Amino acid sequence: MAEERVQRRLAAILAADVVGYSRLMSVNEESTLRTLKSYREIIDRLIVRHDGRVFSTGGDSVLAEHGSAVEAVRCAIAIQEELRVRNAELVEDRRMHFRIGINVGDVMVEGEDLFGDGVNVAARLEGVAEPDGICIAGSAFDQVKNKLSIGFEDIGLQQVKNIAEPVHSYRVMPEGQQAIAPVRNKVRSHWRVPAIAVAFLVLIGAGGVAWWRPWVSDVKPASFDKTALTLSDKPSIAVLPFTNMSGDKEQKYFVDGMTDDLITRLSKLRGLFVIARNTVFTYKGASVTVKQVAEEIGVRYVLEGSVRRADGVVRVNAQLIDAATGGHLWAEIFDRDDKNVFKLQDEVAMKIVEALAVQLTGTEKKQLNTQRTQNIEAYDLVMRARQFVREKTPGPNSKALALFERAIALDPNYPDAYAGLALTYWLQARFYLGGAKRASRQLPIDLANKSIALGDNPIARCILAAYFLHYRRNQNEALAEARRAAALAPHDVFVLGYLSWVLVYAGKGAEALGVAKEMMRLDPAPPADSYLVYGRAYFANGEFDKAVEAFEMVARLKPQWVIQWRFWLASSYANAGRIDDARSLTSKMGGYNLNIVSAAIREPYLHERDLEPFLDGLRKAGFSE
User: Using one digit for the tens of pLDDT, what is the confidence trace for 399-446?
Assistant: 999 999 999 999 999 999 999 999 998 888 776 555 545 557 788 899
pLDDT digits (tens, 9 = 90+) for 117-161: 889 899 889 888 888 999 999 999 988 988 887 888 888 888 777
CATH for 372-455, among 3.30.420, 2.60.60, 1.25.40, 1.10.287?
A: 1.25.40
In this prediction, residues 274-295 reach a mean pLDDT of 88
Question: In 10 A of CB 387, how many CB atoms?
Answer: 17
395: amino acid identity, one letter = G
> Is the pLDDT confidence value at 563 over 80?
no
Percent of the chain with pLDDT over 70: 88
Comparing 18-32, 89-103, 459-473, the range with the smallest average pLDDT is: 18-32
Q: What is the pLDDT of residue 189?
A: 32
Give the Cα-Cα-Cα angle 593, 596, 598 (nearest 5 degrees). 75
pLDDT digits (tens, 9 = 90+) for 239-277: 999 988 776 667 888 889 889 989 988 998 999 999 999
Report d(CA 420, CA 378) in Å as an integer. Answer: 12
Comparing 72-81, 94-103, 425-434, the range with the smallest average pLDDT is: 425-434
Q: List all residues 6 or more positions away from 278 whose beta carbon is below 8 Å from its beta carbon.
A: 493, 523, 525, 526, 527, 530
Q: Which residue has the higher pLDDT, 615 or 230?
A: 615
Q: What is the pLDDT of residue 211?
A: 35
> Is the pLDDT confidence value at 209 over 60?
no
Q: What is the pLDDT of residue 431?
A: 66
DSSP state of 323: T
pLDDT digits (tens, 9 = 90+) for 503-537: 999 999 999 999 999 999 999 989 988 999 999 99
Q: What is the pLDDT of residue 436?
A: 44
Q: What is the pLDDT of residue 432?
A: 59
Q: What is the pLDDT of residue 184?
A: 36
Q: What are phi and psi of 66, to 5 degrees?
A: -120, 155
Q: Which residue has the higher pLDDT, 182 or 95?
A: 95
CATH of segment(s) 236-368:
3.40.50.10610
> Is the pLDDT confidence value at 193 over 60?
no
> Is the pLDDT confidence value at 341 over 90?
no
Band the pLDDT of 196: cuts 50, 70, 90: very low
Alpha helices by DSSP H, 455-578: 458-470, 475-488, 493-505, 509-522, 528-540, 544-557, 562-575
CB burial string 73-96: b at 16+ within 10 A, e below:
bbbbbbbbeebeeebeeeeeeebb
Instruction: Write out the residue limits of the CATH 3.30.70.1230 domain(s) in the chain.
Output: 7-180
Q: Is the pTM of this model over 0.85?
A: no
Report d(CA 122, CA 607) in Å as an integer. Answer: 60
In this prediction, residues 366-378 reach a mean pLDDT of 79
Q: What are phi and psi of 374, to 5 degrees?
A: -105, 0
Report d(CA 574, CA 207) in Å as an integer. Answer: 68
Q: What is the pLDDT of residue 595?
A: 78
Q: What is the pLDDT of residue 598?
A: 80
In this prediction, residues 61-79 reach a mean pLDDT of 92
In this prediction, residues 62-90 reach a mean pLDDT of 90
Three-state DSSP state, 296: helix
- Kind plus residue range of the DSSP H or E element containing 128: helix 117-128
> Is the pLDDT confidence value at 587 over 80?
yes
> Is the pLDDT confidence value at 580 over 80?
yes
Report d(CA 158, CA 167) in Å as an integer. Answer: 5
Band the pLDDT of 175: cuts 50, 70, 90: low
pLDDT digits (tens, 9 = 90+) for 4-45: 567 888 899 999 999 888 778 877 888 888 899 889 989 998
Instruction: Write out the residue limits of the CATH 3.40.50.10610 domain(s) in the chain.
Output: 236-368
Q: What is the pLDDT of residue 359?
A: 86
> Is the pLDDT confidence value at 586 over 50?
yes
Band the pLDDT of 346: cuts 50, 70, 90: confident
Report d(CA 300, CA 320) in Å as an integer. Answer: 11
CATH for 7-180, among 3.30.413.10, 3.30.70.1230, 2.40.50.100, 3.40.50.261?
A: 3.30.70.1230
Instruction: Write out the residue limits of the CATH 1.25.40.10 domain(s) in the chain.
Output: 527-625
In this structure, whether the domain defined by 527-625 belongs to CATH 1.25.40.10 is answered with yes
Q: What is the pLDDT of residue 522?
A: 94
Q: What is the pLDDT of residue 154?
A: 86
